[in-house]
């Protein structure tokens, strides 16, 4: 964002403050540049500002924990707002929630706040998967795809103004499907620290909270409000092509949380693309499965005809045809991203990736032959049942891709670069691997060393590795229960050291992260009805262990995982999925 844009953003909101009755501060629990690049955060800001008489301003993690927190636009203290709303995409940002509440001048724990404090709301992907680690800090969560639910929630909030806080929260929990009020549930723990029982405080409070779903994705296009300032999509106008993914990769939380798959139509997407084109920047198509978009090729051709440059998040290797590669190259795409995820066929069967070695090599060949000089490859280590052979297979696959890459590059007399991005696998809620153990840090580091050493002997291959320490923290926070809140709060105090705080807490993150869960265990997020049946996830878990493939969502009516049925049941009409 340019200085001029920032200035206009600020000036506009100072002027508008007095014209609005309700003021919400939208908090991103990380630095300004990270938050401004987040499409979900930008979308929630737009949704709040679309509600009549509501004004939404932003706030970001302060540079120093002692800095008082003020809104970005008008510089107001956060206590001036009626509502503080966190948008949280990544579990590791849970660590910043207490820092921001403290910097805003609020008590961190919700039970210590009263009618003199703004209400604290939270939502976003991380919360929709497992909000429990921050449940003690938040008054109310809104879970799932909130486009429609947010307006209804805001109306209820307005109607409840002046009521006691406890009564407001109770009305919200009873009144709207996707609302979760943590203080309205009592949790008993077994001797081993797992959840023994979870009980609503009264019979009118729902035992399960169903996530909100955006049934008609065309009715709510999701695009950048301002171009991202950093990351892979810097200075790019982002257009989300739809929600969900049909492929069922067993490690992918987005693939299960956002079921059923829904794609936006050609006219709606083209309108969004033109909006980006008018801003004179590149337009990035974003989604869990961009290459599954039925209208991808016509969209690319139309954008090219209108002189708009497109870019893409990763493409599935089985979707790359000569025609698509030629269109990408014609668009000026210099780097294509492929995600084999695992090196061996066996490992790809376990994770249900559904692509063969031959398809990966062919995709690399097709892209480079079309004139796309650079390839970026995503892999993971630490996947369930992984052996040393599977890890070494990553190196062998990159070596074989390099051979293909060189053969095709020579035709163009130009040799680009292969970049390998390596991450540790983190078991996520609402996936078939939610019961799986994560590798310990030392095991992951050993696996990273194997890949690093192997790739070190291949010229022109760059390796980037996400720090194992960050992945292990993510592994802990992703599946932690409410007791982790005390740990998070103490670790957020100025000068606190994580290891020391852990030692004093009696909680053992290393054990929690690496232990196997049984089907009978009550998982902290089991109270969330994400529409995909738990029995389906367990069946997929067992199929993973016996290396069995499960086909993608069919193009005809289906009731396999439960997601389509519940969406149709809730509305009484078709849900805008890909079914025909
Ligand atoms: S019910 Fe069938 S088509 Fe619908 S999301 Fe589940 S597996 Fe896919």
Q: Is 356 in the pocket of ligand 1 (CB under 6 A)?
A: no
Distance (Å, whole) CA 37 – CA 51: 23
Give the pLDDT of residue 545.
97
Residues 480/132, Cβ–Cβ less than 8 Å: yes
Q: Output the DSSP codes for 146-184.
A: -HHHHHHHHHHHHHTTTS-HHHHHHHHHHH-TTEE-GGG
pLDDT digits (tens, 9 = 90+) for 358-383: 999 999 999 999 999 899 999 999 99
CA nearest neighbour of 215 among 275, 144, 130, 284:
144
Task: Judge if the upstream peptide bond of residue 268 is cis by omega within 30 degrees of 0.
Answer: no
Task: Locate the DSSP E strands across 476-538.
Answer: 528-529
Strands 242-243 and 209-210: unpaired
SS3 54: strand
pLDDT digits (tens, 9 = 90+) for 32-65: 989 988 999 999 999 999 999 999 999 999 988 7
pLDDT digits (tens, 9 = 90+) for 307-322: 998 888 778 899 899 9
Give the pLDDT of residue 573.
38
Confidence of residue 67 (pLDDT cuts 50, 70, 90): confident
Distance (Å, whole) CA 453 – CA 24: 51
- In this structure, the residue with its CA closest to atom 6 of ligand 1 is 561
- In this structure, the residue with its CA closest to atom 3 of ligand 1 is 553
Q: Is 553 in the pocket of ligand 1 (CB under 6 A)?
A: yes
Give the pLDDT of residue 152.
94
Give the pLDDT of residue 226.
77
pLDDT digits (tens, 9 = 90+) for 387-429: 999 999 999 999 999 999 999 888 887 888 999 999 999 999 9
Residues 257/274, Cβ–Cβ less than 8 Å: no
Q: Is 248 in the pocket of ligand 1 (CB under 6 A)?
A: no
How confident is the prediction for the chain on average, in pLDDT? 91
Section 93-116 average pLDDT: 96
pLDDT at 142 over 60: yes
Atom of ligand 1 nearest to the CA of 558: 2
pLDDT at 430 over 70: yes
pLDDT at 100 over 90: yes
CA nearest neighbour of 211 among 130, 92, 154:
130
Q: How wide is the angle at C-alpha 320 spanned by C-alphas 314 and 326, nearest 5°?
A: 105
Strands 83-87 and 119-123: parallel
- Looking at the DSSP assignment, which residues form a beta bridge with residue 83? 24, 119
140-144, 330-334, 438-442, 472-476: range with lowest mean pLDDT: 330-334
Q: Which helix (H) or strand (E) holds 478?
A: helix 468-479
Encoded tokens for 124: 């976003």
Q: What is the DSSP letter of 539?
A: H
Residues 455/420, Cβ–Cβ less than 8 Å: yes
Q: Is 539 in the pocket of ligand 1 (CB under 6 A)?
A: no
pLDDT at 167 over 50: yes
Task: Locate the DSSP E strands across 413-548.
Answer: 418-424, 461-465, 528-529
Task: Name which residue leads in pLDDT, 299 or 575.
Answer: 299
Residues 522/207, Cβ–Cβ less than 8 Å: no
Ligand 1 centre to CA of 493 (Å) is: 45
pLDDT at 578 over 50: no
Which one of 354, 553, 562 would you pick to mutate in the ligand 1 pocket, going by the greatest count of ligand atoms within 8 A of its CB? Answer: 553
What share of the chain has pLDDT > 90, as a percent? 79
Distance (Å, whole) CA 431 – CA 532: 9
pLDDT digits (tens, 9 = 90+) for 461-471: 999 999 999 99
Q: Is 558 in the pocket of ligand 1 (CB under 6 A)?
A: yes
pLDDT at 242 over 90: yes
Distance (Å, whole) CA 578 – CA 553: 9
- In this structure, the residue with its CA closest to atom 8 of ligand 1 is 553
Give the pLDDT of residue 333.
85
pLDDT at 155 over 50: yes
Give the pLDDT of residue 277.
92
Q: Is 259 in the pocket of ligand 1 (CB under 6 A)?
A: yes
pLDDT digits (tens, 9 = 90+) for 106-133: 999 999 999 999 999 999 999 999 999 9
What share of the chain has pLDDT > 70, as a percent? 93
Strands 209-210 and 461-465: unpaired
Q: Which helix (H) or strand (E) holds 13?
A: helix 3-16
Give the pLDDT of residue 12.
56
């Amino acid at each position: 964002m340019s200085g001029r844009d920032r200035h206009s953003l600020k000036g506009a909101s100072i002027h508008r403050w007095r014209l609005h009755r309700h003021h919400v501060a939208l908090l991103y629990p990380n630095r300004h540049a990270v938050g401004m690049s987040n499409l979900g955060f930008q979308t929630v800001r737009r949704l709040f500002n679309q509600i009549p008489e509501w004004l939404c301003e932003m706030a970001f993690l302060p540079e120093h924990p002692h800095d008082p927190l003020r809104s970005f636009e008008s510089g107001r203290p956060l206590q001036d707002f009626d509502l503080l709303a966190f948008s949280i995409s990544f579990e590791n940002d849970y660590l910043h929630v207490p820092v921001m509440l403290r910097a805003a001048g609020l008590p961190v724990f919700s039970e210590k706040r009263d009618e003199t404090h703004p209400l604290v709301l939270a939502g976003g992907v991380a919360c929709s998967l497992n909000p429990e680690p921050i449940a003690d800090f938040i008054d109310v969560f809104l879970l799932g795809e909130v486009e429609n639910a947010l307006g209804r929630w805001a109306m209820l909030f307005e109607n409840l103004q002046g009521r006691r806080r406890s009564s407001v929260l109770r009305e919200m929990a009873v009144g709207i499907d996707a609302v979760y009020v943590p203080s309205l549930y009592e949790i008993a723990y077994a001797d081993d620290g797992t959840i023994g029982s979870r009980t609503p405080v009264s019979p009118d409070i729902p035992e399960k909270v169903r996530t909100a779903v955006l049934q008609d994705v065309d009715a709510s296009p999701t695009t950048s409000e301002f171009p991202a300032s950093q990351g892979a999509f810097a200075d790019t106008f982002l257009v989300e092509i739809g929600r969900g993914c049909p492929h069922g990769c067993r490690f992918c939380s987005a693939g299960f949380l956002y079921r059923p798959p829904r794609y936006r139509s050609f006219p709606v997407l083209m309108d969004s693309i033109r909006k980006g084109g008018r801003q004179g920047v590149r337009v990035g198509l974003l989604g869990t499965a961009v290459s599954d978009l039925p209208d991808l090729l016509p969209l690319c051709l139309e954008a090219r005809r209108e002189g708009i440059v497109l870019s893409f998040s990763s493409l599935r290797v089985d979707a790359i045809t000569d025609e698509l590669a030629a269109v990408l190259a014609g668009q000026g795409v210099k780097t294509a991203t492929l995600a084999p995820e695992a090196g061996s066929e066996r490992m790809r069967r376990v994770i249900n990736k559904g692509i063969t070695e031959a398809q990966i090599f062919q995709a690399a060949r097709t892209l480079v032959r079309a004139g796309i000089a650079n390839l970026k490859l995503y892999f993971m280590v630490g996947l369930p049942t992984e052996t040393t052979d599977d890890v070494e297979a990553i190196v062998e696959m990159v070596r074989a891709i390099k051979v293909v890459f060189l053969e095709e590059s020579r035709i163009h007399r130009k040799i680009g670069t292969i970049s390998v991005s390596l991450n540790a696998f983190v078991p996520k809620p609402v996936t078939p691997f939610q019961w799986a153990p994560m590798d310990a840090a030392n095991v992951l580091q050993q696996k990273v060393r194997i890949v690093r050493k192997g790739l070190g002997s291949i010229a022109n291959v760059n390796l980037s590795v996400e720090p194992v320490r960050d992945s292990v923290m993510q592994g802990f926070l992703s599946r932690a229960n409410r007791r982790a809140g005390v740990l998070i709060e103490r670790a957020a105090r100025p000068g606190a050291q994580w290891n020391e705080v852990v030692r004093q807490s009696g909680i053992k993150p290393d054990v929690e992260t690496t232990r196997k869960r049984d089907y009978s265990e009550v998982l902290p997020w089991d109270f969330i009805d994400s529409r995909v049946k738990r029995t389906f996830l367990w069946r997929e878990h067992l199929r993973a262990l016996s290396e069995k493939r499960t086909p993608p969502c069919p193009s005809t009516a289906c009731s396999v995982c439960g997601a389509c049925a519940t969406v149709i049941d809730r509305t009484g009409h078709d849900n805008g999925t890909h079914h025909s």
